[in-house]
Structure 1
Amino acid sequence: MTQITNREDVHVLVHTFYDKIRQNEMLGPIFNGHITDEQWPAHLSKLTDFWESNLFGVRTFRGSPSKAHLNVDKNLKHTISQEHFAQWLQIWFETIDELYEGELANNAKDMARRMSTGQYIHIWQNRPENQ
């Protein structure tokens, strides 16, 4: 087992994780329904930037995950639930545990837990019935 030490490690983590997500019974249809096969390479690169920025404190990511999640929830008629985020988190943790150990691996889990909670709350607060 190795530690997360560089962008290539993050690349492996992100690609392995989203390969699982795309095949997941609950999450696959959502992700595959919003991201075409042609868009996946660019999306994975952006997600690698996101996690590299968060884990190493470098400024490679530019974008708005909150805006993207709001759009997906709107497209799904406001049906994203806590169960979707829980499934996402479970797969994230499993993937990290299969590939890496150490401080940055633990940080990636902690960050994902906080981010998923924050994203779900943001989605919920911005639904028409809650405004």
Structure 2
Amino acid sequence: MNDITNREDVGILVHAFYGKIRENEMLGPIFNGHITDEQWPAHLSKLTDFWESNLFGVRTFRGSPSAKHVNVDKNLNHTISQDHFAQWLQLWFETIDELYEGELATNAKDMARRMSTGQYIHIWQNRPEEYRNG
């Protein structure tokens, strides 16, 4: 098995991972409820940009994932939980382990762990007070 070495590898990872996400019992309804079939190709391209930027330090990604996650949480009546992020991470690690090994594969796992924690905290901090204490 090889390490992640270029954008093509990142694209393979992103497509395989989000294929699992879309079919996942917990996460599929959330993602499929917010991204139409017609929007998925562009979304996967943007996610490939995101991971390429993070793994290789190139500036292909533009956007605000945090704002998008806060909006999804709002649309779901502030019900996104740590369990959702744990499931996301489990699938990310599983997909990486099926496809790649090496330094960048490990970096992709470490980055995802930090990002998922940061995203959840950001969502929680942006909830109305009544959803934080209830």
Tell me by how many angstroms 1:116 deviates: 0.1
In structure 2, distance between residues paired with 1:11 and 1:106: 17
Q: Does 2:87 match 1:87?
A: yes
In structure 2, distance between residues paired with 1:31 and 1:126: 20
Aligned-pair RMSD on alpha carbons? 0.5
Query: In the alignment, what sits opposite 1:111?
Result: 111
Q: Which runs of 5+ in 2 are unaligned?
A: none
Post-superposition CA distance 1:40-96 (Å, at most 9, x none): 000000000000000000000000000000000000000000000000000000000
In structure 2, distance between residues paired with 1:124 and 1:71: 12
Post-superposition CA distance 1:85-120 (Å, at most 9, x none): 000000000000000000000000000000000000
Aligned identity (percent) is 88
Tell me by how many angstroms 1:2 deviates: 1.0
Query: In the alignment, what sits opposite 2:24?
Result: 24
In structure 2, distance between residues paired with 1:57 and 1:43: 20
When normalised by structure 2's length, the TM-score is 0.96
Q: In structure 2, what residue type is equivalent to 1:82?
A: Q
- Corresponding residue SS for 2:63: coil
Q: Does 2:48 match 1:48?
A: yes
Query: In the alignment, what sits opposite 1:127?
Result: 127
Query: In the alignment, what sits opposite 2:96?
Result: 96
Alignment of 1:27-38 (within 5 A): 27-38=27-38
Query: In the alignment, what sits opposite 1:74?
Result: 74
